Amino acid sequence: MKITVIGTGYVGLVGGACLAEVGNDVLCVDVNAEKIRLLNAGSIPIYEPGLADMVAHNRAAGRLHFTTDIAGAVAFGGVLFIAVGTPPDEDGSADLQYVLEAARDIGRHMSDYKVVVDKSTVPVGTADKVNAAIAEVLRERGVKMDYSVVSNPEFLKEGAAVEDFMKPDRIIVGANDARAIDMMRQLYAPFQRNHERLILMDVRSAELTKYAANAMLATRISFMNELANLAEKLGADIELVRSGIGSDPRIGYHFLYSGCGYGGSCFPKDVQALIRTADEAGQKLKILTAVESANEAQKHVLPAKIVKRFGENLTGRRFALWGLAFKPNTDDMREAPSRVLIDELLARGASLCAYDPVAMPEALRIYDARISYAANPQAALEGADALAIVTEWKEFRSPDFAAIKASLSQPLIFDGRNLYDPAQLRASGIEYHPIGRM
């Protein structure tokens, strides 16, 4: 099948590569000429495990192509994925200007039947706007042409996106006509040979499903963070509580880890957008409003612990940071808790040395030379007054505590991800400040 993907960001590039991997002929188009130049030169603008190899393999096989030619891209595919950005507007709503411009481009250049697929995360009602945008341009052209608009939201976890696309838990398709449904079934058949994963529904329900899924996961995280803060005051251990409630099959263990808050490009944006969508519909989402508020407060818990221990004025203090990305296996620092910690420590006069396996170039872009960077975790510790852990990379899980103790000017760890056993660290002579643990 010939497929066009409009947008070569996170969703578009992963989706295009994975669709090519199963034998489709995929053309990815973007208005950013520099990004297309880099992709055609073999560079990948984002970090995602397995993606670079998959892109290189499918480019070499002649199944994956990159272009800035929107007219040629629209003509190329029978299925056109819109996978452009939907950044939050000032009021928290999703900005649809790029989605609607992609729709208008399709209307300007299409010459036969197309299935237009909204892959970007968009509010309920966006498919209607895409449909209207295409129809308006076709009227201006004075032509009549059949097309279908489908909602097919992505459920990709950063750091595991390739695996998620290749082995999906579910494939949500919101469509209203048989021809489009048949084409979507053909498209996704290679990804569900083991058993049926495609869930068919109306378009608006599909659009809401994406927001509802991310909002539910964000709710679980904020709930556990609130409980962790309470556990700390009551002298309870949130890890024991997590084990106790997670063993209930109605609850399960996923997304029950407490810490210094969630970040990234999805949860914060999607929670805000769903709240805004509800406001526009005349309904207040009280739980989600609390979830957002709780998460913003949680990002300040770790810096507050440091200030409580060292005082408001941190001039002359040096801190080591392990982790910059909002989660492991990505270089994404959007809305990352590390940014709140860095900003607060710098504002109080501290100096910082950070280590992250992949996100240091992104941090350098954001902070310039205001913080320094280490070649490895141990090097970040040299001469630091304390270590702050912000991202739960695997290489941080079982460090040499004796070496940590020897490198720090005082044996002190602030752990925003609860990686270690408090009793073990106390026995090692390390002062340990987790979140919600005894």
- Residues with catalytic roles: 266
- Token code pair at residue 282: 């005349």
Angle at 294 between CA 279 and CA 153, to 5 degrees: 55
Distances from the Cα of 173 to the Cαs of 68, 126, 170, 207, in angstroms?
A: 28, 14, 10, 9
Neighbours of 167 (CB within 10 A): 12
User: Using alpha carbons only, how large is the chain's radius of gyration in Å?
Assistant: 24
Half-sphere exposure of 306 (CA within 13 A, CB side): 32
Cα–Cα distance between 227 and 241 in angstroms, integer?
Answer: 9
Cα–Cα distance between 335 and 213 in angstroms, integer?
Answer: 19
Cα–Cα distance between 251 and 434 in angstroms, integer?
Answer: 24
With the C-alpha atoms ordered 40, 41, 46, 51, is the resulting torsion angle positive or negative?
positive
- Token code pair at residue 225: 């963070």
Q: b vs e for 328-357, b when ≥16 Cβ sit within 10 Å of the residue's Cβ?
A: bbbbbbbbbbbbbbbebbeebebbbbbbbb
Cα–Cα distance between 177 and 181 in angstroms, integer?
Answer: 6
Half-sphere exposure of 311 (CA within 13 A, CB side): 7
The residues, any chain, with a CB within 8 Å of residue 383's CB and separated by 6 or more, are 318, 407, 409
* 8 Å CB contact between 380 and 354: yes
**Beta strand 2-6 with 25-29: parallel, antiparallel or unpaired?**
parallel
| Residue 262 exposed, middle or buried by CB count within 10 Å (0-12, 13-18, 19+) | buried
